[in-house]
Amino acid sequence: MQITDASPDEAQTADVEDVLQPIPESKRTTKVSGQFWIWLGANVAPINWILGALGVQLGLSFSDTMIVLVVGNLIGMFGFGFFVLLGQRSGATGMLLSRGAFGRKGAYLPAAVQAIVAIGWAAVNTWIILDLVMSLFGLLGWVDPNAHNYGARIAVAALIMIIQVIICFLGYRAIAAFERWSMPPTMVVLTIMTILAWTKVNVNWGFQGAGLHGTERFATMTGIMTAIGIGWGIGWFTYAPDYSRFVSRSVPRRKLYLTSVSGMIIPVIWLGALGASLATTNPKADPGQLIAGNFGTMAIPIILLVIHGPIATNIINMYTFSVASQALDIKISRRKLSLLVGVLSMCAVIGFMFAGNFATVVDTWLVAIAGWVATWAGIMAVHYFIFERKHRNFDYLFRDPKDTHLKAVNKYAIIAFLCGLVMTWMFMYGGIPALQGPAARALGGADFSWLAGALTSGTIYFLSGYRRFKRRIHDGIPLGLREGVADDQAVAELETCEQDAAVRDQVEEVHA
């Protein structure tokens, strides 16, 4: 039987993404550039130059801030690339992949967390640019920059949210097209901004910060690295498979890995360096005042860049919300979920408008995100890169709860996850006392939460599943079979999955 080949055209993905189902090869794309533009667009956003300024504002020197950015993101993006490859290999979303480890219904736990996180990110990315927009509007005389401007803020946020919802509603094809066509002019404006900043602004390249030394300097660097370095890359682990699942398995893994990681790391370090360098001119300045004060003559193009940023990032978050919600077996179409996340995110934006200290809120949010994702990633890395590294057919992840041999809940994964979260908190040193664990305090404020969470959850999950892994009779059998299901029954289900996939490909060939 001949299987229809993948195509470079991304339009074909539209009719297989509205409900969760295996992505057949005939509906995948060989166009890897789409992955580059998606991840570049997700990170060419104001939040990254604001995060670059965060290190300087919290007392680090410019050189230490750059060390944190470069080294931290190299480590974080290294892991991100492997989760991109997992999506290509499985054709499944990140939260659907959780079913293999956590159980068919146990995966509701990480899926629910991810859905909430996606709403939070969509809100944070929109809220975080409102000060910038109001400062730029103030230069144009449209608003009083010293007033609260709640009405103008809500109007700008609503406009951004409507655009985001429309693109997300249309799906992967629209997301890839938006990123591909909007990014080149955005990069031109960003390049001009960078040239102006580094040639016309009095940047203090030798900025020494608060003069931190010894333990205090080390603790601050680890905390900032968790938030804007390693933690930034880790935070995208759960998103990576949602988009790479559309990439053909015929695309070389090395090519996909390098393309996706490049799309992430280039803008993160570039914008981080831009933000940190600008912050050396006035470390205490509000981010909106910082940008407006240095680029007042380019107010209009920068306003467009600032508004484009959250749109390019949030269409990723909103799309992931919809597929994470579907992994909860919610019987609502992806498109309707796109509308729902827009409403929920807008409500969260309004709530953030009344939040407290900007730097503390952002730092606490980022540290918390890195903690939960690292814990989840420890389990997933063991499951798919050790226990099920030879799997090629993942159709069993898509089966109805009544028609699967997977455990409903894998208690060992849940235990590993909860233990990982506890250890994450133990080694976390967030911006509020509740997120400052005893181990981190004993280390003088050093934050190794991401490492503690990943190692703890991964180790516990490995030890609990190793015996089953060694006695399995067939490499393709899911590790998490429920009690009472023999391996030969699972082999039969695997063969059924393979037959279903073959029939599906044959039907697609006929339609093509």
Query: pLDDT at position 296, please?
Result: 58
Q: Tell me, what's the pLDDT at 67?
A: 94
Q: Please tell me the predicted confidence (pLDDT) of residue 158.
A: 92
Residue 363: which of 431, 283, 290 has the closest Cα? 431
User: What does the pLDDT read at residue 239?
Assistant: 93
Q: Residue 3: its pLDDT value, please?
A: 39
3-state secondary structure of 399: coil
How far from 394 is each of 68, 262, 442, 509, CA to CA, in Å?
38, 28, 44, 21
CA torsion sign for 315, 361, 435, 209 is positive
Burial of 190 (0-12, 13-18, 19+ CB in 10 A): buried
Structural domains of the chain sorted by starting position, each given as residue range(s) with its CATH number in brackets: 27-511 (1.10.4160.10)
pTM for the whole structure: 0.85
What's the pLDDT score for residue 490? 65
Q: What is the pLDDT of residue 510?
A: 47
The kind and range of the H/E element at 161 are helix 150-170
Question: Could you please report the per-residue DSSP string of 313-336?
Answer: HHHHHHHHHHHHHHTTT--S-HHH
Predicted pLDDT of residue 19: 73
Chain mean position to CA 94: 11
Tell me how far apart the alpha carbons of residues 490 and 209 are, in angstroms, rounded to a whole number: 60
Strand partners, 436: 429
Q: Which residues of the chain have pLDDT under 70?
A: 1-18, 285-300, 303, 355-363, 472-478, 481-512
What pLDDT score was predicted for residue 420?
96
CA–CA separation, 227 and 261 (whole Å):
19
Tokens of 465: 């599943």
What is the 3-class SS of 189-258, one letter each residue?
HHHHHHHHHHHHCCCCCCCCCCCCCHHHHHHHHHHHHHHHHHHHHHCCCCCHHHHHCCECCCCCHHHHHH
Residue 162 Cα distances to 50, 60, 335, angstroms: 24, 38, 14
